[in-house]
């Protein structure tokens, strides 16, 4: 609507501000509704809230950095045409990541509630990983096998992006899985994801800054960074997953 009034690029920025603002105001109205019955008798202290907020911000900031840094580095190191192809491929591949966000959004409160009651919660995370895996496999297959179908709405100007859609979809699928695992650790108030995430940010930047001869080479560096992060977080989750089995605790 704003663009229709001729506001131009400012319309997009305004919408990014106004949309969350309206949602925030709406949430305040919703939170007025529930009564005090059934609420916790003790509230977390301000230092506890601040500590959790810091680690939540680190998680969000780290994933956001990984989500965007490669595009900025590609623009810096590649020619204008190659950087344009890289940016277009990255944007088109983000469908996998955003679908993964919906899975994480549903998983987070479920695991948090179960963990707070000391009840079994791994089945929720396992099913979330399975669902996200099925989504990723489906979209990576489509992007790899029929890339021209994905590009059909955008015209012939994007034909050069076709060979790179599959790898972009795979890289962003790995990031979506990593983000799901980060949200899992946050739901348990665990900080174990911080060092692997920060390490991945440094690794991605260092690799692309060193190896950036072509779109393909930067994509290889991106895939390596995402795979390393995903495997490390998965190993941490697996250690969590197996620990109750050894100790006889509830699963």
**For 127-146, what is each residue's pLDDT tens digit?**
999 999 999 999 999 999 99
Residue 48: the pLDDT is 85
String of DSSP letters for 33-91 = SS-STT--SSPPPHHHHHHHHHHHHHHHHHHHHHHHHHHHHHHHHS-HHHHHHHHHHHH
Residue range 17-32: mean pLDDT, rounded: 89
Contact at 8 Å (CB) between 183 and 108?
yes
Confidence of residue 7 (pLDDT cuts 50, 70, 90): confident
Residue 2: the pLDDT is 81
**For 82-104, what is each residue's pLDDT tens digit?**
999 999 999 988 888 999 899 99
Residue 251: the pLDDT is 52
Residue of 249 and 74 predicted with greater confidence? 74
Cα separation, 180 vs 190, whole angstroms: 14
- Does position 39 have pLDDT exceeding 60, yes or no? no
Contact at 8 Å (CB) between 108 and 187?
yes
Q: Collect all residues with Cβ–Cβ distance below 8 Å to 52 and sequence separation of at least 6.
A: 44, 189
Confidence of residue 182 (pLDDT cuts 50, 70, 90): very high
**For 51-71, what is each residue's pLDDT tens digit?**
899 999 999 999 999 999 999
DSSP state of 118: T
Residue 247: the pLDDT is 44
Work out whether the CA dihedral 201, 202, 204, 208 comes out positive or negative.
positive
């Amino acid at each position: 609507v704003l663009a229709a009034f001729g506001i131009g690029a400012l319309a997009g920025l305004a919408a990014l501000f106004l949309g969350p603002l309206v949602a925030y105001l709406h949430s305040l109205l919703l939170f007025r509704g529930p009564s005090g019955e059934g609420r916790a008798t003790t509230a977390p202290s301000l230092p506890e809230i601040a500590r959790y907020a810091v680690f939540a911000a680190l998680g969000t900031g780290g994933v956001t950095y990984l989500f965007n840094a490669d595009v900025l580095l590609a623009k810096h190191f590649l020619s204008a045409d190659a950087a344009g192809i890289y940016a277009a491929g990255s944007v088109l591949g983000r469908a996998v990541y955003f679908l993964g966000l919906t899975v994480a959004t549903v998983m987070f409160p479920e695991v948090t509630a179960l963990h707070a009651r000391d009840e079994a919660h791994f089945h929720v995370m396992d099913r979330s990983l399975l669902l996200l895996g099925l989504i990723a496999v489906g979209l990576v297959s489509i992007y790899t096998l029929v890339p021209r179908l994905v590009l059909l709405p955008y015209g012939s100007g994007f034909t050069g992006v076709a060979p790179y859609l599959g790898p972009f979809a795979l890289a962003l699928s790995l990031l979506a899985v990593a983000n799901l695992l980060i949200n899992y650790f946050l739901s348990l108030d665990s900080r174990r994801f911080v060092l692997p995430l920060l390490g991945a940010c440094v690794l991605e930047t260092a690799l692309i800054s060193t190896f950036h001869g072509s779109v393909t080479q930067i994509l290889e560096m991106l895939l390596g960074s995402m795979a390393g992060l995903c495997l490390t977080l998965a190993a941490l989750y697996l250690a969590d997953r197996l620990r109750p089995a050894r100790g006889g605790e509830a699963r």
